[in-house]
Amino acid sequence: VRFYLDIAPTVDIRVPHCHHGEWDEGSGDFVLVLEDMSPAEQGNQITGCSIEHAAVAVAELAKLHGPRWDDPTLHQVDWLTRRTGPDDITQLVGLWSMVLPGFTAVYSKHLDAEQQDLVDRFGAVLGDWIDGRSGPLTVTHGDYRLDNLLFATPAGGPPVTAVDWQTPGHGPPVADLAYFLGAGPVSTDRSAHERELVDSYASALEVYDVQVDPGWLWEQYRREAFAGVVMAVIASQIVGGSERSEAMFAAMATRHLRHALDLDSLSLV
């Protein structure tokens, strides 16, 4: 609710228009009346997306990040998610350790030996990965992936609309970018086109007078490939299990781990 009322008007990313939003802090009850986005269709995390859809989603992501890139007033928005302090790091590392056995029990059959080895090695440096994050901060989505994107169809609709604003944050923008590209396109398509997609993100930011060094951006992108690994391991053990959820998290885990392996992301931690 707060995203739609307070943040959405200050950024340019396409979201459903909020006709009414209200939240009761005491009870947690809320009401959101949002624009009907039909005939747009939801993306599919399991099957992946085309490079054309990936390019549209990347361009739209810059419209979230660019308007409030390195905006100091975001520090005053206390409800945005942040994972920067020592307590946050300790909590996330502890959560990883707690859920890892369950993840391994269910998903190891989907991983090859190289991917499973990376899960184990990354877990040992997870705290260093979080602590080593640097660079500008902005508004982030936190779960920018295909299931949370609505794409235009031949019948109409905006090119892409972002939904599911449950985890907006104040964090590193490249985490959203790497998270989306790591598991949006299938791995072979992603590896063939990701450099041009990352470059297109930088170009889209220029509309907001944001200039990023290409070398810095690529290094941060490689490092943030682990954002998807963290999500796949932890979220797979928190949400309710079903046949579709296992297929979805299997797709996410295998693609994100392949992403980190392809980019040698561990060497940057």
Please give the single-letter amino acid code of residue 54.
A
Which letter does DSSP use for residue 13 in this model? S
Residue 160 lies in a domain: no
CATH number at residue 123: 3.90.1200
Tokens 């206390």 correspond to what residue? 78
Instruction: Quote the percentage of the chain above a pLDDT of 70.
Output: 100
- For residue 87, the model assigns a pLDDT of 85
Residue 179 lies in a domain: yes
How far is CA 153 from its chain centroid? 24
Residue 9 lies in a domain: no
Confidence band for 241, pLDDT divided at 50, 70 and 90: confident
Confidence band for 85, pLDDT divided at 50, 70 and 90: confident
* Residues in Cβ contact with 6 at an 8 Å cutoff, skipping those fewer than 6 apart: 77
Residue-range definition of the domain harbouring residue 87? 37-150+167-268
First to last CA, the chain: 35
The 10s digit of each residue's pLDDT in 28-74 is: 999 999 999 999 999 999 999 999 999 999 999 999 999 999 999 99
DSSP string, 140-203: E-S--SGGGEEEEETTEEEEEEE---SS-EEE-HHHHHHHHHHHSS-HHHHHHHHHHHHHHHHH
The 10s digit of each residue's pLDDT in 149-189 is: 999 999 999 999 999 999 999 999 999 999 999 999 999 99
Cα–Cα dist 268/178, whole Å: 15
Residue 218 lies in a domain: yes
Residue 159 lies in a domain: no
Closest to 43 (Cα-Cα) out of 166, 243, 235, 183: 183
* Averaged pLDDT of the chain: 96
Q: Do the beta carbons of residue 201 and residue 176 sit within 8 Å?
A: no
Which letter does DSSP use for residue 9 in this model? G
CB burial of residue 235 (10 Å; 0-12, 13-18, 19+): middle
Across residues 200-227, what is the average pLDDT? 98
Cα–Cα dist 160/136, whole Å: 26
Number of domains, the chain: 1
Residue 27 lies in a domain: no
Does the structure show a pLDDT above 80 at 230? yes
Alpha helices in the chain (DSSP H): 2, 51-65, 86-107, 113-123, 126-131, 173-183, 187-205, 214-223, 226-238, 243-262
- For residue 236, the model assigns a pLDDT of 96
Does the structure show a pLDDT above 90 at 86? no
Q: Do the beta carbons of residue 63 and residue 210 sit within 8 Å?
A: no
Which of the pair, 20 or 82, is modelled with greater confidence?
A: 20
Please give the angle made by the CA atoms of 140, 204 and 144, to the nearest 5 degrees: 30
Across residues 132-155, what is the average pLDDT? 97
Residue 184 lies in a domain: yes
Please give the single-letter amino acid code of residue 7.
I
Across residues 228-250, what is the average pLDDT? 93
Confidence band for 122, pLDDT divided at 50, 70 and 90: very high
Q: Do the beta carbons of residue 34 and residue 90 sit within 8 Å?
A: no
Residue 51 lies in a domain: yes
Does the structure show a pLDDT above 90 at 96? yes
Task: Give pTM, 2 decimals.
Answer: 0.96
* Cα pseudo-dihedral 75, 222, 58, 67, rounded to 10: 20
Closest to 180 (Cα-Cα) out of 165, 192, 164, 198: 198
